[in-house]
Amino acid sequence: MTREQLLLKSKTKNERRTIPLNVRWIVLKRDNYTCKKCGRSPGKDQTTELEIDHIMPVAKNGTNDISNLETLCHECNQGKKDRI
C-alpha cells in the first residue's frame, strides 16, 4: 500500500475534525502503521484500513494535537465512538 493510499484511507469523515495530511502521516509513522488497540496493520493484512483517532474525542474538547491522536483500524475506531 502506498503512502497516499494510507493517508486517504485515514481521512476523517467529519469536517470539524479534519486533521492535516502531514499530521496524519506523522501519526501513522509514529505508530508504525499499526492499530494501537488490536495490532492489525496493512503490512500483515491488506484489508486493514487505518484511521487517525482522537484519544480524547473532539466532542469532549479533544484537540488535533499529535499527543491526542493515535492510529486505529476501522473496526476498533468504530467500536470506540466518542468514548475515551
Q: What is the tens place of the pLDDT at every residue in 33-43?
A: 999 999 999 99
How many domains does the chain fold into? 1
Pinpoint the alpha helices (H) of the chain.
3-9, 21-30, 74-80
pLDDT at residue 38, rounded to an integer: 96
Q: What is the pLDDT of residues 59-69, one digit of tens each?
A: 888 999 999 99
Q: Which three cell numbers stand for residue 61?
A: 474538547
pTM higher than 0.85 for the full model? no
Residue type, 20: P
Query: 25 is written with which cell numbers?
Result: 502521516
Residues of the domain holding 73:
3-80
Rounded mean pLDDT of 5-24? 69
What pLDDT score was predicted for residue 79? Answer: 81
Residue 67 φ/ψ, nearest 5 degrees: -70, -15
